[in-house]
Amino acid sequence: MVSEEKIDKFKEAARIIKSAKYLVVFTGAGISAESGVPTFRGDNGIWKKYDSNVLSLSYFIEHPEESWKAQKEFFDIILNANPNYAHIALAELEKKGILKSIVTQNIDNLHQKAGSENVFEFHGTMKTVTCINPRCMHKYKTEELDLTNLPPKCEKCGSVLKTDICFFEENPPEPAKSLSFQEASKTDVMIIVGTSGVVHPAALLPVTAKENGAKIIEINPDSSLLTIYGTTDIFLQGEAGEVMKKIMEEME
Ligand code: OAD
Ligand code: ZN
């Protein structure tokens, strides 16, 4: 049962979204949970199975094989994952001209698979890899690599290849980082979907939007740091697909 108070919140959120001049959506791992992609934190999170070091640059340099093993497992999951209702609804809002851009922390490509076009990948991508030799830096498509023997090596110079994901100890890639902050400064309504808000500088995007006067709507089954610290104006508690369905119904 959805309480009266919740119904009002959905109506209010739908009204704000409809009247937005520059709607930006900021997503985290939670939006892909209903697509079978595990989140990082929480009971079934990736960091329960692996130490988060597997995605740190210093660990990768010392233990590329172990880091690659973990990444390959994740890569296999996301290659086979399909967008869920939340990704599809956001792509629809873009086609209708209501949504201007999506800034995602996700590396799963599900927004693009759903048909979203203006997507900024704040934490990079798993679609490509780069040779770590600074004099080479040759790029390859991940799906074209032979991942039987890990780590994969560069055909040009023999050095180790690294996925274009932003690792811990690295800065988010440019121009995605600057463009994402530009979007956060421009937006008058930001919807945050499925992020714990603990990773910086990504978590500063909603804060930047709020400081520039945007209304912040958040979708998450649990409170995040953004809810707790009061960045969020309207908290819609629930799973991304379910909540987006209610919003889309209210907007009809
Ligand atoms: P987290 O795993 O930290 O948080 C996932 C969030 O999604 C939590 O707040 C959950 O409550 C919420 N959630 C779970 N199921 C959901 C559902 N069905 N619908 C909506 N929300 C749901 O993931 P992120 O915040 O994305 O960085 O993590 C940020 C970064 O930390 C990631 O980009 C990754 C990681 O280290 C890199 O890989 C560089
Ligand atoms: Zn090379």
Q: So what's the pLDDT on residue 95?
A: 98
Q: Residues near 55 by Cβ (< 8 Å), separated by ≥ 6?
A: 67, 70, 71, 165, 167, 168
Closest atom, ligand 1, to C-alpha of 34: 18
Closest atom, ligand 1, to C-alpha of 240: 19
Q: Whose CA is nearest to atom 11 of ligand 1?
A: 222
User: Residue for token digits 């690599």?
Assistant: 145
Structural domains in the chain, CATH included, are: 1-37+83-122+172-252 (3.40.50.1220), 38-80+124-165 (3.30.1600.10)
pLDDT (tens, 9 = 90+) of the chain, 252 residues, equals 555 566 689 999 999 999 999 999 999 999 999 999 999 998 888 888 888 899 999 999 999 999 999 999 999 999 999 999 999 999 999 999 999 999 999 999 999 999 999 999 999 999 999 999 999 999 999 989 999 999 999 999 999 999 999 999 999 999 999 999 999 999 999 999 999 999 999 999 999 999 999 999 999 999 999 999 999 999 999 999 999 999 999 998
For helices 176-186 and 204-211, angle between their N-to-C axes, nearest 10 degrees: 30
Q: Which residue numbers are catalytic?
A: 123
Alpha helices in 41-123 (DSSP H): 46-49, 57-62, 64-80, 85-95, 110-114
- DSSP letter (8 states) at residue 32: G
Query: E-assigned strands of 39-188?
Result: 99-104, 119-121, 124-131, 139-141, 161-165
CA-to-CA distance for 241 and 239, rounded, in angstroms?
6
Instruction: Tell me, yes or no, if the pTM score tops 0.85.
Output: yes
